[in-house]
Amino acid sequence: AALPALVLGAGLLVAAWRWLRGAARPGRGGSMRGKTVIITGANSGLGRAAAAELLRMRARVIMGCRDRARAERAAREIRAEVGERADGGGELVVRELDLASLRSVRAFCHRVLQEESRLDVLINNAGIFQCPYMKTEDGFEMQFGVNHLGHFLLTNLLLGLLKNSAPSRIVVVSSKLYKYGEINFEDLNSEISYNKSFCYSRSKLANILFARELARRLEGTGVTVNSLHPGIVRTNLGRHVNIPLLAKPLFNLVSWAFFKTPLEGAQTSIYLASSPDVEGVSGKYFGDCKEEELLPKAMDDLVARKLWDISEVMVGLLK
């Protein structure tokens, strides 16, 4: 009798803790009516949650996704969740975007520049996590290629539209795991050695350095850039992580109890995209909708500039 009572008690405590955490979630920003937002990887996880919330706030949301069929299905589900508004406002648009292909990134941006008169927010959200060694269409190590280089090219190609739409915002989703990464300029493509955990951390450190250097370059333009970590979230990002079969029930219980839901994890992205509290704030790093301190290696401006210069060559912006 003692064991069931202990399990029940622990379950009630966890449920109460989860309820309190949800109740403490910051409120959404004001209306986003008339604003256009691009979210990469918006068909699942954090991106899907952010798309639903920003649509609820009446934004025009462009879902940039690799798998068009899955994205269209997610869009239908989001529309059903949010509901049609009698007063109009809010629109969900699906566009194909494969960040592992520079050709796809260029085609996506070309269409956006042709069809969209403004771009108020760009959320660089999509990512790949601890995959086996593989290369993008252009020959880049997959995690560095998707998480950093794909977004680097995407952002640069859309900068003109963002400037013309100022005040506008760029939001870069990074990770606390940046702390375990190093920028090794001698082996950015991991051809000498590959460690899937280290390479993920390196790509997330690159995200922060990119946001920092971009913020410096955009001073005075009315375009702000901030990076964030969402916390540990229950998403399909960890699909490449192998968990022993016998450990899966325990892992599922722990993740339900202590990991954030996608909506909870997306709160900082939504906050940076919409809140008047961060109007004009740029070059900062956030977690749980608050500014946080970075390790010195994520504030190294010389490394950030060198990474920018090399990235320009890698994606073909400079010869």
List, for residues 270-311, the tens digit of each pLDDT value: 999 999 999 999 999 999 999 999 999 999 999 999 999 999
Across 7-11, 104-108, 218-222, least confident range: 7-11
**Residue 242 has what pLDDT?**
54
Is pLDDT of 19 > 90? no
Q: Give the residue-averaged pLDDT of 137-158.
A: 98
Using the predicted structure, report yes or no on whether residue 228 has a pLDDT greater than 70: yes
Q: Of all residues in the chain, what percent carry a pLDDT higher than 90?
A: 78
Kindly report the pTM of this predicted structure.
0.87
In this predicted model, what pLDDT tens digit does every residue of 101-138 receive, in sequence order? Answer: 999 999 999 999 999 999 999 999 999 998 999 999 99
Confidence of residue 255 (pLDDT cuts 50, 70, 90): very low
Average pLDDT over residues 163-169: 98
Per-residue pLDDT for 262 more than 50? yes
Tokens of 175: 């990770």
pLDDT in tens, 45-77: 999 999 999 999 999 999 999 999 999 999 999
pLDDT of residue 34: 95
* Average pLDDT across the chain, whole number: 88
Q: Which residues are catalytic?
A: 200
Is the predicted pLDDT of residue 264 greater than 80, yes or no? yes
What whole-number distance in Å separates Cα of residue 28 and Cα of residue 194? 41
Q: pLDDT category, 247, cuts 50, 70, 90?
A: very low
Give me the residue spans of the domains in the chain: 28-232+263-315
28-232+263-315 to CATH, choices 3.40.190.10, 3.40.50.720, 3.40.50.12280, 3.40.50.2300: 3.40.50.720
Q: What's the confidence (pLDDT) of residue 83?
A: 78
Q: What are phi and psi of 172, to 5 degrees?
A: -115, 115
Single-letter amino acid, residue 271: Y
